[in-house]
Amino acid sequence: RRRRRGCCCICCLWLTLFLIALVFLAAIAAGVLYVLYRPQHPTFSVSSLRLAALNLSAADLLTSRLDLSVTARNPNRKLVFVYDDVAISASSGGVTIGEGTIPGFAQGTDNTTVLKTTVSSSGRSLDPTEASDLRKRKRYPLEIELDTRAGVKIGGFKSKHLGIRASCDGIEAVVAKGNATATTTGSAKCKVKLRIKIWNWTI
């Protein structure tokens, strides 16, 4: 029995040392990659916005259309970003006024890409408080949110795709008339956060 316990202790010790060595080597590899490639996260900004329509029926049903251009920037000289489809939502005062999608794309090194899409809502039911709040406004503070998953490509290597959320605020618009562009004020830059899912939690 003592021999068995001794063997188990030795196995556990070697396993622990092996895991520590793996973590140490992974840290060294990550450090080397950082020094070689100096990775930077992508940046996003709302470059143009036209609130073409925002109407509420007597039954508090919302119909809206927002023409949007988002500028995506890859500042890296050696890393290519590969994006899945991008889900976009627009809200005003916590009320969602439209949703849209941008097809997935690959963004080359040191590249700026302008993404155009339409965010809309057709007959979305609002509660009376939300509808009343929107009716009172002539100018609409907007929050634009982009959700996607993206990976990195270095030569023939492709990383696993991780969740990314870009939140854009500081935008104010009025409903456009005719061919006029909706007035926007404030900064339209977006804050980018990495979203990692561990079991049922997203951080």
Binned at pLDDT 50, 70 and 90, residue 118 comes out as very high
Handedness of CA 103, 159, 43, 167 (dihedral sign): positive
Q: Is the pLDDT of residue 171 over 70?
A: yes
Tell me, yes or no, whether 12 and 49 share the same domain.
no
Tell me, yes or no, whether 91 and 25 share the same domain.
no
Number of domains present in the structure of the chain: 2
Tell me, yes or no, whether 51 and 75 share the same domain.
yes
Tell me, yes or no, whether 51 and 33 share the same domain.
no
Beta strand 80-83 with 140-154 is: antiparallel
pLDDT tens digits, residue range 153-168? 988 889 899 999 999 9
Tell me, yes or no, whether 176 and 120 share the same domain.
yes
Exposure pattern of 174-190 as b/e (b: 16+ CB <10 Å)? Answer: ebbeeeeebebeeebeb
CA distance 178 to 58: 24
Q: Report the pLDDT value the prediction gives residue 19, as an integer from 0 to 100.
A: 86
% of the chain exceeding 90 in pLDDT: 57
- Helix, strand, coil proportions of the chain in percent (round to 5)? 20, 50, 25
- Whether the CB-CB separation of 71 and 91 falls below 8 Å is answered with no
Tell me, yes or no, whether 3 and 77 share the same domain.
no
Tell me, yes or no, whether 76 and 141 share the same domain.
yes
The SS3 call for residue 195 is strand
Tell me, yes or no, whether 64 and 81 share the same domain.
yes
Q: Report the pLDDT value the prediction gives residue 156, as an integer from 0 to 100.
A: 85
Q: Is the pLDDT of residue 201 over 80?
A: no
| One-letter amino acid for residue 13 of the chain | L
> Which residue would you say has higher pLDDT here, 181 or 32?
32
List of residues 6+ apart from 164 with CB closer than 8 A: 42, 146, 147, 148, 149, 150, 192, 193, 194, 195
Query: Which token pair is 80?
Result: 């290519």
- Whether the CB-CB separation of 116 and 160 falls below 8 Å is answered with no
Tell me, yes or no, whether 6 and 86 share the same domain.
no
Read off the pLDDT of each residue in 166-187 and give the average, rounded to a whole number: 71
Q: Residue 188: what are its φ and ψ, rounded to 5°?
A: -115, 20
Q: What is the DSSP letter of 189?
A: B
Q: Report the pLDDT value the prediction gives residue 196, as an integer from 0 to 100.
A: 65
Tell me, yes or no, whether 165 and 71 share the same domain.
yes
Tell me, yes or no, whether 103 and 16 share the same domain.
no
Tell me, yes or no, whether 150 and 181 share the same domain.
yes
Beta strand 105-107 with 162-173 is: unpaired
pLDDT tens digits, residue range 13-42? 778 888 888 887 777 765 656 556 678 999
State the residue range of the domain holding 158. Answer: 43-202
Q: Is the pLDDT of residue 103 over 80?
A: yes
What is the reported pTM?
0.76
